[in-house]
Structure 1
């Protein structure tokens, strides 16, 4: 391909998935019709309180972490605090009551954030996967402020400027950067983007592969449907990983959600294909986005791990506010260099 030609996922109509699948007619209006008039019985947020386990955060560990132990705290949904080697990283920080452009309409939080913004340590880096409201909350970003470096997919910096965020590094898929001594690669996912009805796929989406100075490797999937070819290629190119954040929720009705969100069984396939040694479940237990029971994803995840012949402890669904500590044992093999 001519070096001046845009990559195939750059199109005249915005961005496209690396291996597009037929999506059918899935407009926002069709979604609303399915949501309110379909045959599925959707959970109501006001009845879900207490169905997601919650634990008080270990603030001592969070504010005085052992730099030699990788530490993940689940704040809720796709929001986590990742701490390792003195670096504090937030993923998709959403602290607001609703994942919506409206104050009184849209998915309402039924599990409180595991940490408040005031309880956060000094944040060095924010990883933003895409611009959907349950992943990109401008009010939360305003409160976090400009001190961290924000790593965002292409075309998302203009959105963050609305929150007064100037310190953005935009990345394309498979692009390499180095921040705070950490090697970062923006990885594709099988998803889409929009903030309103007229901007579908105008801003890029994806995940991130991080490699620390001692070879520790961390993977944040972001939001994705399962695509065997995509993840097989990425696993061969960028794996294995010591620790990963993999979505497990928001998957029903399956015919409508399959192209955008993995179910727990497909989440296990991502873990295996991307060669993630220890996975933490995200994208569940916080907002009612889809029709499955809110407490179903971790139950199905446990069963899927057993069926796959894997130890369920290697793919944990933490309580909101819970912290997992991972002891990294350096691999004696030569570290794979970014492509």
Structure 2
């Protein structure tokens, strides 16, 4: 296999010095136009590409790459986050390397080590539900780091979160305000920070509405859409609840499928909007967090650190918005 062309090859082809080629490929603009044209033609002819991995090893040079470790790329929530991060990074001239931890602590640690071995300039991380290694055990140097969606115990990092508790409180109060008294909570494991916060908001709202919490109506095992569907189906068969708050989009979709299977629905508000939420009759009421804004904010935070921002590390909590579309109300009797 032929070797990749080098800057030396470009210099020989263009009949210029190696230093001039280096200045050209690194963006210098004060090169004689005739020389720049010859270098550009040589680059095209030879198929030369910069070796950014090697360049990043030299003092003062970077890989122009940001690592993004999320939980599950198959979840539309995380793919939207990734797209937002990528758009900001791309505009700043950075490539984003995306990987999924699948909520596994050891896998997350391997991904982090690999990204740092590849000399990424910064990292944005959604911490896994079961961390394996403490951040104090990560060998330095650690590049600029931003925790996204969930916090982690590491002082030298910025964090970007949504107001999970406030959004869940608003959703539950909307259901109680529409007359519900037995409001079920359906969500994923409380090991996940966002789920703990959303359940806390739910219980706060019950207290404010004068409703006694009922553990039998709290379901925290709905990791998948299918598990949520089975859980809500059981609530319907047992006539246990008169409304449902679903704590993420997969739980909401599972609840809707259970309603379809049973041929009847309960008042419902879900956390996180999703593309098909408007297709129901009525459309699904949701707590909407600006996922794109979260991704953009995380990317802007890590880029600011790369540009030299030395201000105190901070946690930014972005607001949520309750969108009532009718599903929070009891179905009208025919």
Q: TM-score w.r.t. structure 1 length?
A: 0.30
Higher strand share: 1
Larger radius of gyration: 2
Higher helix share: 2
